[in-house]
Chains A and B, each alone.
Chain A
C-alpha cells in the first residue's frame, strides 16, 4: 500500500474542535481515564521541576539527589499508556463501548500499551534533541488507536500508521494544544480569585480564608491548575489522534486514489487510449 498524501488529512483546528465535543459528549469516561492516566505524571513532573528549582536556586545543592524522583517520574509516565489505550478502545468501540470493557482490553493488551509508551517516549526524548525522531512519536500515537480499533498486532499497526505523514498535522496539533494549555491554565488559575473578588465587592463577603486556598497566590491551587491544564492538553491530543484514526477508511481510500492518479499521470499514453 502506498503512503497517504498529506492533502487527505483534516485540519488541526477541526480535529481539536471535534475532540473537544467528543469529551463533552462522553465526560465521565474521557475525564476519568484521562485524569487517572495523565494527572499523576503531570503532578510528578511539576514536583520534579519544583525540587530542581529549589535545589539549584535556593539551597545551591547539586542535582544528583533528584535521580530517584526523575526515575519515578519516568516510570509513572509509562503508566499513562494503559489508561490511554483504554480510552482509545472506548473511542474505537463507538456508541456500544463501555469503560469496563475498554479497561479489560487495556489490561489484556498491557504489553502493547507499554511498547507504544516506550516508542512514543523514545520518539519525544530523541526528537527533543534531533527533531526527526518526533515522527516515531507521532506514528506510535496513531498506531496506538489503530491497534485499539482493529485486530492488527502492535507492529502491523505501527507499519500501517507509518503510511500516514502525520508530522505536519501533529506539529500543528502540538502547537495548538500547547497554546490551549496556557489559556486553560490562566483561566483556571485566575477564575476563583476573580470570583472571590467579585463576591467581596458585591456582597461584602469575607473571603480572606478562601482566597488563601484558591487565590492566584495559593501554591496548592496553582499546582492544581497546572496539573489540570496539562491533563486537558494531553487529553485533547489523544482524542484528536483517535478521531484521525477513526477516519482511516477515508484516509486510505484517498491514498489509493492518489496512487491511482499518480499511475495515470505516469502513463499518459494509456490514459489517452482510454478516452479514444
Chain B
C-alpha cells in the first residue's frame, strides 16, 4: 500500500524513510540514526557530540572570527554614516528654519 503522506528520507540513509526531525541540527533521521531523550527525538550525531565532546561548543565560534573582523568595521562605518546623515538632515532643517525665520 502507498503511504498516505509522503515521507522525507533519512539524512544518513537516503533509502529509508525519516522518523523525525532533530531539534538541534534540523536534519531528518531514521530509527537507527535517532535517539529519544526525555521523550524528544534527537539525531545520534548531535546527542553523541553533546555528551562526548562538551568542548566542541567552545570552538564553534571560531568560524565567526574572520567574518566578524570583516563585518564589524563595515557595520561600524554604516552606523556612523547613518548618524552623521541624520545630524546632517537636522542641520539642513535648522538652516532652512533660520532662513525662514
Contacts and interface: CB of A to CB of B under 8 A. Distances in A.
Interface of A: 1, 48, 52-53, 55-57, 60, 62-63, 66-67, 70-71, 73-75, 77-78, 108-112, 114-115, 117-119, 121-122, 125-126, 128, 150-156, 160, 248-249, 252-253, 256, 259-260, 263-264, 267, 270-271, 273-275
A256 B6 CA distance: 11
Contact of A52 (B57, B67, B87): B87
A78 B74 CA distance: 12
A154 B6 contact: no
Interface string B1-44: 11111111000000000000101111110000000000010000
Contact of B78 (A60, A110, A122, A264): A122
Contact of A108 (B24, B58, B68, B97): B58
A209 to B, nearest CB: 35
Given A53-B90, A118-B68, A274 B3 contact: yes
The SS class assigned to the A binding surface is helix
Contacts of B100: none
Given A118-B68, A118-B71, A252-B26, A56 B79 contact: no
A73 B67 CA distance: 22
Which one of A73, A112, A119 has the greatest number of beta carbons of chain B within 10 Å?
A112
A63 B3 CA distance: 69
A119 B88 CA distance: 25
Given A1-B26, A256-B21, A74 B76 contact: yes
B18 to A, nearest CB: 9
Interface residues of B, number: 51
A252 B80 CA distance: 38
B5 A260 contact: yes
B63 A153 contact: yes
Contact of A153 (B27, B49, B64): B64
B94 A57 contact: yes
Contact of B91 (A62, A77, A108, A150): A62
Contacts of A274: 1-4
A6 B54 CA distance: 35
B23 A249 contact: yes
A263 B64 CA distance: 37
Contacts of B60: 109, 112, 151-154
Contacts of A263: 6
B87 A70 contact: yes
B2 to A, nearest CB: 5
A160 B61 contact: no
Contacts of B97: 57
